[in-house]
Amino acid sequence: MEMLHKRILEDGNALSENVLKVDSFLNHQVDPELMYEMGTQFKNYFKEHGITKIFTIESSGIAPAVMTAMQMNLPMVTLKKEASKILNGDVYQTTVHSFTKGKDYELTLSKKYVTAEDCVLVIDDFLANGEAALGAARLAEESGAKVAGIGIVIEKSFQPGRKMLEDKGYEVYSLARIAKLGKDLIEFVK
Ligand code: 5GP
């Protein structure tokens, strides 16, 4: 996605060879026009997949996921990183290891918002080792729902997430694929 590539090159900041900071348009301040364009791209790619619901993981997946849901005219469900007092009772939960925080959290979904008839698209901001996306897929499947695909805004293709997810049979579509990160260096997959 040209507009995203350009923005990553202009505003992205490689904190190390493994972590990209994009606080100015995705992870802290959000650029709605860019998010809308992401929604268009995801919709165009996944429109024939029979999707009934979009799942995302709080919090940075919400903006691209809601823009996709709006354009596909579907509901979006935010998976919580901790079970709040409001979500008591009937929940699906799974443990996910956080790439950025280096610790585990309990990804949580109320049973009210998924059924065995659902066909789910998982959308997230980054793909590194694939733990977050896999956790989201696990929660959907626990209810009997199908996972039709995984949509990622920024994939770090030098990390193992895509291969792991594809090996498990998931279709992964990423708007930007980074081949290499380093000091003053952001290289996309050609
Ligand atoms: P994974 O579960 O694939 O290892 O990591 C994906 C999750 O970690 C994403 O939900 C995202 O929040 C976070 N993450 C992974 N790599 C990066 C990165 O380079 N930059 C930022 N800002 N977040 C990342």
Q: Is 33 annotated as a binding residue?
A: no
Atom of ligand 1 nearest to the CA of 15: 19
The region of weakest confidence among 35-44, 53-62, 87-96 is: 87-96
6 falls within a domain: no
Residue nearest to atom 10 of ligand 1 (CA): 126
24 falls within a domain: no
What's 153's domain CATH number?
A: 3.40.50.2020
Using H for helix, E for strand and C for coil, what is the string for the chain? CHHHHHHHHHHCEECCCCCEECHHHHHCCCCHHHHHHHHHHHHHHHCCCCCCEEEEECCCCHHHHHHHHHHHCCCEEEEECCCCCCCCCCEEEEEEECCCCCCEEEEEEEHHHCCCCCEEEEEEEEECCCHHHHHHHHHHHHCCCEEEEEEEEEEECCCCHHHHHHHCCCCEEEEEEEEEEECCEEEECC
Instruction: Determine if ligand 1 sits within 6 Å of the CB of residue 129.
Output: yes
Probe target for ligand 1 pocket from 100, 150, 157, with the most ligand atoms within 8 Å of CB: 100
Query: How much is the mean pLDDT over the chain?
Result: 96
Domain hosting 63: range is 35-178
19 falls within a domain: no
Residue nearest to atom 23 of ligand 1 (CA): 126
Q: Is 128 annotated as a binding residue?
A: yes
187 falls within a domain: no
pLDDT on residue 83: 65
72 falls within a domain: yes
108 falls within a domain: yes
Please write the tens of the pLDDT for every residue from 14-42: 999 999 999 999 999 999 999 999 999 99
87 falls within a domain: yes
Query: What is the domain count for the chain?
Result: 1
